[in-house]
Structure 1
């Protein structure tokens, strides 16, 4: 199947994105990654890196008068989220041969080939990642409240087939994000993510991803036990970990890489240690290509 991945990227997430690109290229030979660059620095650095499977699109190529007006009313996160479905639609419009587009957040990291996700559910027009919260230290009342505010799904990985239902659903999501895309949790709405809850009821062939090892992150790793065997990372049932979502990382410097979620927890899976050891190598690689580039977060960046 001819398919492509898409991500929206600003310079504060570039180091993680370079790690993402490398991880996906290692597990899937023929991957194609369209990247919407939200600033000139991101575009210029990635252009210099000349990554084999990455197609760069400057945000100016997507923006029109209506979006520029909207840009003035939304913060950086809100504007990036707003552009996600617009970018997916633009990639489909420019590449009509594609049978599927899949959005991936820049802070994902792949450990095995994600193609099986699509192969396991070939009849689904839209594939959504469950965002069920499983945090052992939280009371059930806290978890229920967070679930209502954040939604049942996580928008860091979702896929649309280039068919009628997939295109209708993508168009609907785009329209909703243009109407409102607030960077504040609220029942039924949270950025671009809250809208995903409505998709299964509004459109046919919208499916929860059933393949194990997908989109594990700080909100749900409590229900998994990861292990390493023969160079592979496995779940407790022996299935491979396909990708982990390293949400909440802030790279302040090459020597300071912090987590802003559940900062008092000491039970993070060992993949976090591996990820933290790898990121300085990515930073050095970028520095060699463009010594002037600064993709570091500020010390008080907790958003």
Structure 2
């Protein structure tokens, strides 16, 4: 019989140390829960995965047209895009509660109060970035949150209720193609969609407990202190879980690389130092990957640049075959209908798509004019060089 509660995270092989610390703390406080690592990568025999944790590769989650799905996204987008698919798989196995944490989170007590919300009828439980109005000089303002999402998706919990599965399938369908960081379009990976959840889900609940999801974006309004029992407290209550987003264990006095906050002091500094030591120990146990991120490059080994992933996602929602093996041949083909430059320059498919995405390029270079084709080809060569895009992906074969 499946455990009532499963605690899950998602990461690629480079984040195994973070995942090990998370699972160590989860096992300590919730020994009755199942533990599952959704691997946004392929298992690397050179690595040691966390003990007592089931590893499920993303490719095994039954995501339709998986090669195209993986090809469409960079590593961050891919890690976040598989979240609803993993949660659905856990419910299919018979778990009643699915509790997701980002790998860079650590638990500091049992979370029975969160589980009680699920037992009490909640379909989803979310935690907001802000539980109070940010003051002057806050590392994150209302504008940041309105751009990236009201709720931080480093944590989301769900229970098996009549409304849960349909909403997870809705979320999964959106992330199949639009798990992107395009804030000008109102999208921020998986997270921005959750702004809609309290309206879509009658039984969604928002936890405003300031001891949950403590992180750099809310520390200016939350007070961390040492507890009398050797633990940690936030605003006078026991710390539930801390989100070490952007934390570098080699710079343990800095809360996050995402904020210019001054070095931590007092109880916060001690908390960071304790986590840094655990991270370093976990890194030593995990070992070093023997190979790069599995979906980093083409079958030839040539890295896939973001520009290519974007073109594939926007132009080819369906693709015959495996794009990792074939799309590198499409990118440098001459684009139909474009003039040839005065020096023989050819506008390829990748060059044409990049031109079409940017109003400044469309205004600045008329691809029906051979002289401007030459100018654009020179411009693109500089752009591609600066972005380390391999010439074989954009330069037409002689």
What residue in structure 2 maps to residue 216 of structure 1? 214
What residue in structure 2 maps to residue 84 of structure 1? 83
How far does the alpha carbon of each residue in 1:251-288 deviate from its partner, in whole angstroms, 9 at most, with x for none? 6xxx567742114532462322221232222222234x
What displacement does 1:10 show? 0.5
The reply on whether 1:275 has 2:275 as its aligned counterpart is: yes
What displacement does 1:137 show? 5.4
| Counterpart Cα distance in 2 of 1:236 and 1:144 | 22
What residue in structure 1 maps to residue 257 of structure 2? 260
The reply on whether 1:226 has 2:224 as its aligned counterpart is: yes
| Counterpart Cα distance in 1 of 2:231 and 2:251 | 28
- Which range moved further: 225-234 or 267-276? 267-276
What residue in structure 2 maps to residue 301 of structure 1? none
Conserved in 1, the CA contact under 8 Å of 2:63 and 2:85?
A: no
What residue in structure 2 maps to residue 182 of structure 1? 180
What displacement does 1:70 show? 2.3
| Counterpart Cα distance in 2 of 1:13 and 1:89 | 23
What residue in structure 2 maps to residue 71 of structure 1? 70
- Which range moved further: 162-171 or 61-70? 61-70
CA 1:42–1:5 in structure 2 vs 1: closer, same or farther (change >3 Å)? Answer: farther
What residue in structure 2 maps to residue 103 of structure 1? 100
CA 1:293–1:24 in structure 2 vs 1: closer, same or farther (change >3 Å)? Answer: farther
| Counterpart Cα distance in 1 of 2:162 and 2:146 | 30
The reply on whether 1:171 has 2:169 as its aligned counterpart is: yes
CA 1:43–1:57 in structure 2 vs 1: closer, same or farther (change >3 Å)? Answer: farther
What residue in structure 1 maps to residue 16 of structure 2? 14
Superposition pairs for residues 34-73 of structure 1, below 5 Å?
34-41=36-43, 45-47=47-49, 49=50, 51-52=51-52, 54-62=53-61, 66-73=65-72
- Which range moved further: 261-270 or 150-159? 261-270
Between structure 1 and structure 2, the one with the greater Rg is 2
Gaps of 5+ in 2: 293-398
Q: Secondary structure at the match of 1:116?
A: helix
Q: Secondary structure at the match of 1:164?
A: coil
More strand per residue: 1 or 2? 1
| Counterpart Cα distance in 1 of 2:136 and 2:275 | 24
Superposition pairs for residues 105-254 of structure 1, below 5 Å?
105-120=102-117, 122-132=120-130, 136=135, 138=137, 143-186=141-184, 188-229=186-227, 230-237=229-236, 239-250=237-248
How far does the alpha carbon of each residue in 1:18-41 deviate from its partner, in whole angstroms, 9 at most, with x for none? 111111111222121111112235
Q: Secondary structure at the match of 1:131?
A: coil
How far does the alpha carbon of each residue in 1:79-116 deviate from its partner, in whole angstroms, 9 at most, with x for none? 111111011111211x12x1111211000001001232
Conserved in 2, the CA contact under 8 Å of 1:161 and 1:167?
A: no
- Which range moved further: 77-86 or 182-191? 182-191
Conserved in 2, the CA contact under 8 Å of 1:14 and 1:42?
A: no
Gaps of 5+ in 1: 296-303
What residue in structure 1 maps to residue 384 of structure 2? none
- Which range moved further: 102-111 or 226-235? 226-235
Q: Secondary structure at the match of 2:170?
A: helix
Conserved in 2, the CA contact under 8 Å of 1:38 and 1:58?
A: yes
Conserved in 1, the CA contact under 8 Å of 2:122 and 2:203?
A: yes
Conserved in 2, the CA contact under 8 Å of 1:151 and 1:187?
A: no
CA 1:71–1:284 in structure 2 vs 1: closer, same or farther (change >3 Å)? Answer: closer
What residue in structure 2 maps to residue 3 of structure 1? 5
How far does the alpha carbon of each residue in 1:169-209 deviate from its partner, in whole angstroms, 9 at most, with x for none? 21121112113011243464210000000011112101102
Conserved in 1, the CA contact under 8 Å of 2:102 and 2:155?
A: yes
